[in-house]
Amino acid sequence: MSPRPDVSEERKNQILEAAIKVFSRQGFHEARMDDIVQESGLSKGALYWYFKSKDEIITAILSNLFDRELDTLKNLQDAQGPARERMIEFTRLAIADMKVLLQIRPIVYEFYAIAFRQRVVRDALKNYFRRYMQMVVPFIQQGIDRGEFRPVDAVEAALAAGAIIEGTLLLWVYDPETVNMEKHMITSMELLLDGLGAPEPDHS
């Protein structure tokens, strides 16, 4: 007899996809676990087997979104080539991930709206930010050590890069008619990296 396939990941994804639909339609506050049960087509027992609360589901959604972006950064951190080119490539990949995220735009708006008053969202965002800094700071430092970047504070440079990505997204949320997210994010990152660039040696 062949072993029974592990369906846990499939079931978790089924629940998270249902939750995204419910949250998009009703908002986090109004949505109930029963609504997610109905949308998923699973039993209440199955839902609670994987997620004990709505907060756990919100945390899992955020983790899935952020893990993909951080995995991309990890791959680029280990890649060959100039730090500047890899930072631009990371920005392009981050934009691609955001375009997928924006297919569930109401969820994005909701995250921003409740981040300051709902601890589970705030903690998930803080965890993502700290993981981002743990990966980007050494990446910037690598460019400094190789002489590609000026000897600046790598933490400050990583904060500026993160502010470009998050800030441009937020400005786009405010006014998508004025802000071209892809164009402005790439342009702003290029301006930052131009400023970080080490000066050419003077051979005069």
pTM for the whole structure? 0.73
Q: Domain total for the chain? A: 2
Any idea what the CATH number is for the domain that residue 173 is in?
1.10.357.10
Residues 31 and 65 grouped into a single domain: no
Residues 61 and 134 grouped into a single domain: yes
Residues 91 and 160 grouped into a single domain: yes
Q: Is residue 192 part of a domain?
A: yes
Any idea what the CATH number is for the domain that residue 41 is in?
1.10.10.60
Residues 111 and 182 grouped into a single domain: yes
Structural domain boundaries enclosing 2: 1-52
Query: Tens place of pLDDT for every residue, the chain, 204 residues?
Result: 444 445 688 889 899 989 988 887 887 778 899 999 999 999 999 999 999 988 888 888 877 777 776 777 777 777 778 889 888 988 888 888 777 766 666 666 677 677 677 777 788 788 888 888 988 898 899 999 999 999 999 999 999 999 998 889 888 878 889 999 889 999 999 999 999 998 765 545
Residues 167 and 109 grouped into a single domain: yes
Long-range contacts, 56-61 (Cβ 8 Å, 24+): 57/15, 57/16, 57/19, 58/23, 58/28, 58/120, 58/121, 58/124, 59/120, 59/123, 59/124, 60/12, 60/16, 61/16, 61/19, 61/20, 61/23, 61/107
Q: Mention every residue, 6+ apart, whose C-beta is less than 8 A from residue 170.
A: 112
DSSP state letter for 197: B
